[in-house]
């Protein structure tokens, strides 16, 4: 009978440890929130689907390392610059977007009818795995973006003769535990009041990317990136029209890149 007390104590300790682990796991997982999850078949690739979503990270730096679905033969992070995955800055709301990195699923099973729900599992380096569902939207075309060294499957705007020829340069510098991005644009005006309106040559907004992941739109020539996971990170800014097409001059995208190394 005396051996019962130590056994009970061990059971209690195991239960306490299990509860603590569960609390820690939940605390980590609440740093990531997935929303606006949609999927769209790609017209030029039968059985292929692109998945887009918003990722809200209210915690420290992380990295999206993989994605999968039980209804796809293959899934990958398309347009990710680094093999390690997509860096997620601390306290940020990036997006897997048509004009940036996204999840590409091939060999999809079943009919790709609008409204169908597709299960998706994302794995983050620190926060762990998250399961969500993507609602199928109407198909979309790959566009011309890939032909010009841009991310995603969006559209382009070729600058015509006689129109302003936008140019852009960027500088990145440390800012506390994060980074400050400064944009210098020529023959281009940031026009937040014209977003979603008709194209006006030489006006528009910018897009800020980190390792291929779209961080935000730029309506002014400055932005801040939060703390980053260790590694080498590519920062890229592109200029876009009011109707969200990437500017292209002489078959080259109007964009600039810089590099951040976090040790």
pLDDT tens-digit series, residues 214-234: 999 999 999 999 999 999 999
Predicted confidence (pLDDT) at residue 123 exceeds the cutoff of 50? yes
**Confidence class for position 58, pLDDT limits 50, 70, 90:** very high
Per-residue pLDDT of 186-203, as tens digits, reads 999 999 999 999 999 999
pLDDT at residue 23, rounded to an integer: 38
> Looking at residue 176, what is its pLDDT?
96
State the chain's mean pLDDT as an integer. 89
Reported confidence tier of residue 95, pLDDT bands at 50, 70, 90: very high
Confidence (pLDDT) at 90: 97
- Average pLDDT score over residue span 61-90: 97
CATH no. for 32-136: 2.60.40.1890
Q: Where in the chain is the domain with CATH 2.60.40.1890?
A: 32-136
Location of each CATH 2.60.40.10 domain in the chain: 149-262
Domain 149-262 in this protein, CATH class: mainly beta
CB 190 within 8 A of CB 223: no
13 pLDDT higher than 80: no
Residue with tokens 């130590």: 6
72 CB-near residues (< 8 Å, 6+ apart): 49, 105, 106, 107, 108, 109
Q: Are 178 and 60 in contact (CB under 8 A)?
A: no
How far is it, in rounded angstroms, from Cα 110 to Cα 69? 13
């Amino acid at each position: 009978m005396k051996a019962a007390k130590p056994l009970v104590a061990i059971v209690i300790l195991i239960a306490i440890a299990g509860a603590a682990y569960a609390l820690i796991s939940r605390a980590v997982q609440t740093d990531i929130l997935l929303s606006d999850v949609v999927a769209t078949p790609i017209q030029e690739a039968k059985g292929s689907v692109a998945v887009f979503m918003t990722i809200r990270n209210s915690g420290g730096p992380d990295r999206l390392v993989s994605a999968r679905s039980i209804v796809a033969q293959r899934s990958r992070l398309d347009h990710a610059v680094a093999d390690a995955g997509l860096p997620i800055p601390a306290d940020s709301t990036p997006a897997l977007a048509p004009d940036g990195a996204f999840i590409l699923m091939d060999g999809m099973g079943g009919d790709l009818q609008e409204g169908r729900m597709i299960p998706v599992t994302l794995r983050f380096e620190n926060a762990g795995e998250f399961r969500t569902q993507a609602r199928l939207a109407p198909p979309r075309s790959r566009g011309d973006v890939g032909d010009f060294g841009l991310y995603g499957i969006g559209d382009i705007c070729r600058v015509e003769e006689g129109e302003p020829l936008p140019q852009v340069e960027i500088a990145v510098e440390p800012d506390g535990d994060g980074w400050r991005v400064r944009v210098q644009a020529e023959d281009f005006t940031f026009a937040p009041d014209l977003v979603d309106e008709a194209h006006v040559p030489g006006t528009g907004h910018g897009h800020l990317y980190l390792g291929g992941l779209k961080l935000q739109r730029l309506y002014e020539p400055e932005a801040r990136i939060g703390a980053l996971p260790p590694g080498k990170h590519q920062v890229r800014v592109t200029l876009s029209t009011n109707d969200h097409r990437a500017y292209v001059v002489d078959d080259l995208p109007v964009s600039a890149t810089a590099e951040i190394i976090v040790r």
